């Protein structure tokens, strides 16, 4: 994968390439940034560059690297990512990334921009939460102890290291303290505060910003064939996320469903329709845990956007046309008297879901409390 396949992020690309030119490539880097900003794309492009997909190299060597990297099967490139334990798998088996290597490569072949939810779908997960366990650090130690097959770097890309359990994190720390020869760790992270302080201190952090609107607009026009006006609106709504831009292109995307559920919750709460709210909570409780978490994040964003909408400054709002159409009538119900408590309620609900509380009870409690909060002025 080439750097020119990364959407925007020229400053980060320049920083990475400068490390190589100055021969000061850090043995461990932490690429941090929000979902959809292209962290994995940058990691893959940099790994490909270090492993020989470099235009300055002799043609045979470059072609050999490109052939191996085309299907992400280079022997010196190792991937670590969260996995689930499929039903029927023995508890004695320590799950490792290699158990889902085929699904992982298939996803990478579709492109470097993806979400945890898409990965869970690939693994056919239901309510399981994907984690990186102790078996993974043992496997990584074994792989990285081998000599480079091509005589150059060995690259370890760790996607979402914040999902490591404690045992795995402590074993990885030892690897970072005494890294194998010519090994580069590229950790692609969305929640660095969840990592051990000792791991963060042994990495060079590179913060990846949201993608510039102009870069998303350009990519939509040239890569997706979108007209300029539509591309401009989608780029603005995407809030620096290529994934959000792609979601907006999909008329049947998940956010449309989330918007319908948000509208239903608010209308039924206003009507104090407890019976229908119970049905609403039962329907939402049927989603998987990860989807419930995404739903609550979406609700929190809508509460924030509706509160800001009251300031009548379009430059401050980032909503789709459908979201804005609802907010024109609804925004007045989100005000200084309730916005903080509603936000705190959604945060608490998300925490309860993350701790595997009974979803029917959690969402019905959310709905009942919303009846009180939505009427405050």
Q: Classify strands 77-80 and 204-207 as parallel, antiparallel or unpaired.
A: unpaired
Same domain, 31 and 110: yes
| Distances, alpha carbon 233 to alpha carbons 226, 316, 319, in Å | 11, 14, 10
Contacts of 90 (CB under 8 A, 6+ apart): none
CATH number of the domain enclosing 337 = 1.20.272.10
Same domain, 318 and 262: yes
| 118-139 residue pLDDT tens | 999 999 887 788 999 989 999 9
| 55-93 residue pLDDT tens | 555 556 667 777 888 889 899 999 999 999 887 788 888
Looking at residue 370, its pLDDT comes to 96
Same domain, 101 and 113: yes
The tally of domains found in the chain comes to: 3
Same domain, 236 and 259: no
Same domain, 23 and 55: yes
Same domain, 163 and 224: no
Range of the domain at 300: 245-375
Looking at residue 249, its pLDDT comes to 77
* Boundary-marking domain end, from 221, 240, 259: 240
Ranges of the chain with pLDDT below 70? 53-62, 251-253
* Boundary-marking domain end, from 152, 187, 209: 209
Same domain, 288 and 275: yes
Same domain, 175 and 27: yes
Report the 3 state secondary structure along the chain: CCHHHCCCCHHHHHHHHHHHHCCCCCCEEEEECCCCCCHHHHHHHHHHHHCCCCCCCCHHHHHHHHHHHHCCCCCCEEEECCECCCCCCCCCCCCCHHHHHHHHHHHHHCCCCCCHHHHHHHCCCCCCCCEECHHHHHHHHHHHCCCCCCCCCEEEEEECHHHECHHHHHHHHHHHHCCCCCEEEEEEECCHHHCCHHHHCCCEEEECCCCCHHHHHHHHHHHHCCCHHHHHHHHHHCCCCHHHHHHHHCCCCHHHHHHHHHHHHHHHHHHCCHHHHHHHHHHHHCCCHHHHHHHHHHHHHHHHHHHHHCCCCHHHCCCCHHHHHHHHHHHHHCCCCCHHHHHHHHHHHHHHHHCCCCHHHHHHHHHHHHHHHCCCC
Same domain, 222 and 189: no
Same domain, 226 and 261: no
CATH number of the domain enclosing 35 = 3.40.50.300
Same domain, 151 and 231: no
Residue 335 tokens read as 């005000």
Same domain, 7 and 129: yes
């Amino acid at each position: 994968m080439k750097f020119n396949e990364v959407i925007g992020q020229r400053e980060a690309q320049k920083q990475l390439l400068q490390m190589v030119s100055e021969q000061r490539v850090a043995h461990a880097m932490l690429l941090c940034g929000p979902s959809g900003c292209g962290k994995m794309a940058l990691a893959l492009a940099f790994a490909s560059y270090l492993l020989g997909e470099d235009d300055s190299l002799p043609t045979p060597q470059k072609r050999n690297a490109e052939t191996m990297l085309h299907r992400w099967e280079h022997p010196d490139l190792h991937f670590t990512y969260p996995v689930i334990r499929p039903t029927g798998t023995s508890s004695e088996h320590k799950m490792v990334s290699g158990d889902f290597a085929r699904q992982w490569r298939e996803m990478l072949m579709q492109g470097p921009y993806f979400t945890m939810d898409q990965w869970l779908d690939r693994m056919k997960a239901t309510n399981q939460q994907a984690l990186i366990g102790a078996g993974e650090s043992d496997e990584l130690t074994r792989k990285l102890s081998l000599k480079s097959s091509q005589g150059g770097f060995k690259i370890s890309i760790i996607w979402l290291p914040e999902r490591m359990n404690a045992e795995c994190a402590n074993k990885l720390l030892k690897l970072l303290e005494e890294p194998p020869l010519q090994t580069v760790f590229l950790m692609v992270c969305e929640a660095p505060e969840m990592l051990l302080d000792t791991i963060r201190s042994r990495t060079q952090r590179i913060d990846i910003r949201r993608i510039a609107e102009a870069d998303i607009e350009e990519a939509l026009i040239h890569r997706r064939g979108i007209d300029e006006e539509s591309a401009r609106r989608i780029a603005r709504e995407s809030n620096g996320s290529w994934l959000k831009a792609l979601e907006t292109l999909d008329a049947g995307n998940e956010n449309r469903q989330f918007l319908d559920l948000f509208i239903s919750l608010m209308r039924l709460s206003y009507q104090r329709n407890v019976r229908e709210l119970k049905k609403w909570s039962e329907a939402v409780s049927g989603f998987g845990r990860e989807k419930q978490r995404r739903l609550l994040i979406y609700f929190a964003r809508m509460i924030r956007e509706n509160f800001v909408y009251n300031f009548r400054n379009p430059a401050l709002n980032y909503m789709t046309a459908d979201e804005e159409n609802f907010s024109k009538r609804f925004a007045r119900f989100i005000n200084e008297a309730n916005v903080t408590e509603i936000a705190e309620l959604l945060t608490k609900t998300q925490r309860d879901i993350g701790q595997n509380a009974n979803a029917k009870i959690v969402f019905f409690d959310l709905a009942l409390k919303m009846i009180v909060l939505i009427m405050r002025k």
